[in-house]
Structure 1
């Protein structure tokens, strides 16, 4: 039975890179000074649990579990895979294999930092329209519940034209279908988020070329290339590096890795294998560069340099998307505000005309 504190620790360690960096830096500082892995974990547990006074702290729980698993004969990377993302466990496994845990920690910290940059760019792209949708929803709700009904009582909507008529139709939509639309949007977002790491197959391949899913492909393609470069720099052949990355990968990434593994088994180099797999992963242009680099000497260094450049380019593209989404959201709010202002003015004009016509029909005494 998993306790609440363990569940919380798992959540913190999986989704908060800064906490994991604290672990890797602390572990690295001890190991590079000649302290064994077991003793390092013991010392770190004492630090993060405040000598046992706070045993429920996330890093204290994790280091305690790691000590137990290592005592049972499990490798550190395997024990750590419960607590950290798959690529970090893969990189640590490479460090164990190469006998360089200190370098592995450096590489992992570099990957976490890069992912934080990517996630920051993605959050910006999502947060801008999400935040600006709140005032937009408030404006529409106010128009639908107060402004239009008030004007409709004074002037028949059937006589409205132009912006007033459009505002009336928008009000009816918000009143009749507003909640349903919000529920549908939430359902679509939920399905989208759940499907990202799980949905595979040819139809998913089509969606990976379109909006939103292509961003997910770009994000994971960037980290995939970086992880692959780090493993190969540790003198691990491409096939074995892919196997290590695939061991902890989600179903979507496993599909991409399996396709590349098949190509390498058939005798192709990494670039050709990625191309023949047909997934356009990480993307078409990246595959062509990898094909060229893989056919030449010094591929390990070349792929490391290319992964850095591709990561920076991916972050710039996502940041551009964030700025574009912000501008589009502002334009939408501006358009609705303009419609409200013009439509309200036209409603008042219709109301004045209605009063004028009524006055002319009153007989003079």
Structure 2
């Protein structure tokens, strides 16, 4: 496969990932009508040859992997790891279970897209505010402040103006370094979301912005476990399977849950989920479910019904984060304007004073 074909395949994966809810639903209907997946993918590949070469390459790739492995293996790069885990579990129970799992996934994806949109909003809005703040700061530093400096020495400025001049001087001399440092910090933060694991991470997961990632990932874990348990897989086996598809952060929590379940002092599985992987409300629901007559059935109900609640929780967390960022940027901009206005007023007073002195001499 040449470079151009690899690019086409990558773009096709992105397109299919965006509409995978409909894709899962179509596959489920085909299986319910007793049409083998091989025949369905073959038909999709033949149809795509006339419309989109990239999609034809993708369906050919899926066909190859489906023949040599499983549906989960075939959809690697298209579906997230949590969905691959559900597909892998469903396929072990036959086509009927796969059809049911695909239909369940179709509905789940539509709901999780709401959570994803909330997370994107939580990230993009603060980034927009930061970019706007930096743009205004650059304008002050390279255009407004130098004009004032050419008229009046900084030593004669008011305290707020001197502070603004110091910031502007720092931006002019170290602006690129500051931008680079912020980019590095942002990359480090994004990397830490999935890779920073252990007890040292737990206090941060209770606070923004890490709590948004915790809420989303914890909800997806419960949904994944509920899907596996619906297929007849035990909680322990479901957790062991989740380890295979988990990020380092989630893997630490899942292994801690497994140790909690295996503990001789464990009265029920609910206490084992107190690792910090879930928010307090969801953790309480899991604890209550573990104490009921049919804890597995109660767990499945919580998993299938928790997505909308978590989406609402994430939207509230996003709103709080956005409010904090808006307040911080507002205070910073107000301080800049205060320093600028105070300096211009003092400059006007100095000019008027010099004009009066000149008039008196004449």
**Where on the TM-score scale, by shorter chain, does this alignment land: which range?**
0.7 to 0.9
Give the C-alpha shift of residue 301 in structure 1: 3.1
Distance in 2 (CA, whole Å) between partners of 1:111 and 1:14 is 19
Is 1:259 paired with 2:256? yes
Residue 274 of structure 1: aligned partner: 273
CA contact (8 A) 1:70 1:76 kept: yes
Counterpart among 346, 350, 360 of residue 346 in structure 2? 350
Q: Give deviations 1:90-138, integer Å, cap 9, x for gaps.
A: 2112222233111110121123223211110011111112223333222
Match of residue 298, structure 1, among 291, 294, 300: 294
Report deviation, 1:330.
Answer: 3.9
State how far apart, in whole Å, the 2-side matches of 1:143 and 1:29 are.
Answer: 60
Provide the C-alpha distance between the structure 2 equivalents of 1:18 and 1:139, rounded to a whole number of angstroms: 36
How far apart, CA to CA, are the structure 1 residues paired with 2:52 and 2:11? 18
1:76 corresponds in structure 2 to: 71
- Alignment CA distance shift 1:15-1:41 (3 Å): closer
Q: Is the 8 A contact 1:226 1:308 kept in 2?
A: yes
1:228 maps to 2:199: no
Pairwise mapping of residues 136-215 of structure 1 onto structure 2 (< 5 A)? Answer: 136-215=133-212
Match of 2:54 in 1: 56
Write the distance in 2 (CA, Å) between the matches of 1:226 and 1:219: 11
Q: Which sits farther off after the overlay, 190-199 or 337-346? A: 337-346
Q: Distance in 1 between matches of 2:315 and 2:93?
A: 37
Contact map agreement 2:22 2:106 (CA 8 A) in 1: no
The aligned residue for residue 82 of structure 2 is 87
- Unaligned stretches of 5+ in structure 2? none
Please, which runs of 5 or more residues in structure 1 have no aligned partner? none
In structure 2, do the counterparts of structure 1 residues 281 and 343 end up closer, same or farther at CA, with 3 Å as the change threshold?
A: closer
TM value normalised by structure 2: 0.86
Q: Is the 8 A contact 2:21 2:107 kept in 1?
A: no
Partner residue in 2 for 1:128: 125
1:126–1:180 Cα change, 3 Å: same
**d(CA) in 1 for partners of 2:325 and 2:204?**
24
**Does residue 103 in structure 1 map to residue 135 in structure 2?**
no
Kept after mapping to 2: 8 A contact 1:12/1:19: no
What is the alpha-carbon distance in structure 1 between the residues aligned to residue 241 and residue 15 of structure 2?
A: 22
| TM-score normalised according to structure 1 size | 0.86
Write the distance in 1 (CA, Å) between the matches of 2:58 and 2:206. Answer: 39
CA distance in 2, matches of 1:178, 1:284: 42
1:265 CA displacement: 3.6
CA–CA distance in structure 2, aligned partners of residues 315 and 125 of structure 1: 12
TM-aligned CA distance change 1:270 to 1:2, over 3 Å: farther
Map 1:320-331 onto structure 2 (within 5 A): 320-331=316-327
User: Cα gap change, 1:183/1:23 in structure 2, threshold over 3 Å: closer, same or farther?
Assistant: same
The list of structure 1 runs, each at least 4 consecutive aligned residues, that deviate by more than 6 angstroms after superposition, is none
The CA distance in 2 between the partners of 1:90 and 1:55, in whole Å, is: 29
User: CA 1:120/1:281 → structure 2, altered by over 3 Å: closer, same or farther?
Assistant: same
- CA deviation profile, 1:3-62 (whole Å, cap 9, x unmatched): 553465356636964332243122222111111222222122223333xx64422xx333
Partner of 2:195: helix, strand, or coil?
A: coil
Change (3 A) 1:168 1:240: same
Cα distance change, pair 190–46 in 1 and its aligned pair in 2 (3 A) = same
